[in-house]
A and B are shown apart, each in its own frame.
Chain A
Amino acid sequence: AQRVTQPEKLLSVFKGAPVELKCNYSYSGSPELFWYVQYSRQRLQLLLRHISRESIKGFTADLNKGETSFHLKKPFAQEEDSAMYYCALIGKGGSEKLVFGKGTKLTVNP
Chain B
Amino acid sequence: NAGVTQTPKFRVLKTGQSMTLLCAQDMNHEYMYWYRQDPGMGLRLIHYSVGEGTTAKGEVPDGYNVSRLKKQNFLLGLESAAPSQTSVYFCASTRGTEAFFGQGTRLTVV
Contact B48 A97 (CB under 8 A): yes
Q: Beyond A94-B31, A97-B56, is A43–B43 a contact (Cβ under 8 Å)? A: no
Q: Which residue in B40, B99, B102, B104 is a CB contact (below 8 Å) of A36?
A: B99
Could you tell me if B42 and A98 are in contact, using CB atoms closer than 8 angstroms?
no
B45-A44 in contact (CB<8A): no
B97 in contact with A100 (CB, 8 Å)? no
Which of A43, A46, A93, A103: most chain B Cβ within 10 A? A43
Chain B residues packing against A (C-beta within 8 Å): 31, 33, 35, 40-45, 48, 56, 58, 90, 92, 94, 96-99, 101-104
B42 in complex: contacting residue of A32, A43, A46, A86, CB < 8 Å: A86
CB-based contact A99/B45 at 8 Å? yes
Interface residues of A in 10-51 (CB under 8 A from B): 32, 34, 36, 42-46, 49
Q: Which residues of A contact B (CB under 8 A)?
A: 6, 9, 32, 34, 36, 42-46, 49, 86, 88, 90, 93-94, 97-103
With contact pairs A86-B43, A103-B42 given, residues A94 and B97 touching in the complex (Cβ less than 8 Å): yes
Given the known inter-chain contacts A86-B43, A97-B48, A103-B42, please indicate yes or no for A43 contacting B97, CB distance below 8 A: no
Residues of chain A within 8 A (CB-CB) of B104 are 43
Q: Closest CB-CB distance, A49 to chain B, in whole Å?
A: 7
